[in-house]
Structure 1
Amino acid sequence: MEIGFRKAQAEDLAFARNLYFETMRWMIERLFGWDQAREEAYFIGFFRLDEVRIITVDNRDVGWIQERLEGTSIDLGSLYVIPAMQRQGIGTQVLQMLLARARSQSKTITLAVVKINPALQLYARHGFRITHEDAYKFYMRADPRFPDKRTVG
């Protein structure tokens, strides 16, 4: 299985949108109830084509990642893998690639994850630690320069 990335194009918007709704809908319904117009507006508000890369496996589109550079940090805004391809190590490999790049650039990685999202365990296994929280999300940080560091300062 060869995992790669390609720059997102305008025609990838529908793929990204559909995958976001497919993977997040149950969480959104549970927390807020589903309002299609609200969710469409939310998606368009955070999706930035210039920050998105499509995740490929053997040249097949299987997900997408969105990241933004913010000073000495990479903000991981989104990481989605199609359900049929989940639990096959794709998210793990994508995170490992991102952590390696952050390490080589002397950057930390930050993200926010919905508290009921099973991906929370994936992030914790890869050294992300909770820095703070709000009613719905944990905010996490990893410093790949210090992989054995268990607390965030």
Structure 2
Amino acid sequence: MRPVTPGDDGFLFTLYASTRAQELAAWGWNPAQQEIFLRTQYQAQARHYAALYAPEGHALIEVDGAPVGRQWLVRTQAETLLVDMALLPSHRGQGLGTRLLCAIQEEAARARVPVRLNVTRDNPALRLYTRHGFLPVPGSDPASPYLELHWRAPEGDSGTGPG
């Protein structure tokens, strides 16, 4: 992990585009239309995150010195918010996301705070989160495409990690 710098923007766009590839393939747009849409959406997300969240929690995930993903955490005295975690397709499904999520849970358990996140209902990562004990926040809007999840270490867990 290392802090994100302005020079990482090209990689971050590529990463963002990779998270939307399956969705866009279904729309039948040509590559130029996809590029315009993706750039617009990426810039909107970047502005939104920058307006809401401190940059200190924004990190690139590297393997052997090469960027393979990003993680954005907001740590407060009350909770840890997982704003975003994404990996390139070539690094999904190999346990890296699990290791990252376990590290977040262990840190939150030591700090005695819950972890909160939002995920789209059709995101394959939803299985990862539920497997690691994340539960829907009561009162979540069933019509929303997003599901708000939370996790709290069991009483007496001092950060040894989820089973």
TM > 0.5: yes
The CA RMSD measured in Å over matched residues stands at: 2.4
Give 1 or 2 for the bigger CA radius of gyration. 2
Shift of 1:16: 1.5
Q: Deviations over 1:102-131 (max 9, x none)?
A: 111111100000111111000001111111
Q: Which residue of 2 aligns with 1:129?
A: 135
What's the TM-score once normalised by structure 1's chain length? Answer: 0.80
CA–CA distance in 1 between the matches of 2:66 and 2:84?
Answer: 19
Unaligned runs of 5+ in 1: 148-153
What's the TM-score once normalised by structure 2's chain length? Answer: 0.76
Q: Which residue of 2 aligns with 1:77?
A: 83
Q: Secondary structure at the match of 1:99?
A: helix
Match of 1:68 among 68, 74, 81: 74
Q: Which residue of 2 aligns with 1:51?
A: 57
Shift of 1:22: 1.2
- Is 1:107 paired with 2:104? no
CA–CA distance in 1 between the matches of 2:12 and 2:112?
Answer: 29
Q: Which residue of 2 aligns with 1:18?
A: 14
Task: Using the aligned pairs only, state the percent identity.
Answer: 22
Match of 2:152 among 125, 143, 147: 143
Flag the structure with higher strand content.
Answer: 1
Tell me if structure 2 keeps the 8 A contact 1:27–1:116: no
Shift of 1:29: 7.3
Unaligned runs of 5+ in 2: 158-163
CA–CA distance in 1 between the matches of 2:144 and 2:9?
Answer: 29
Paired residues, number = 142
Shift of 1:145: 4.1
Say which is worse superposed, 96-105 or 33-42, in terms of deviation: 33-42
CA–CA distance in 2 between the matches of 1:28 and 1:78?
Answer: 20
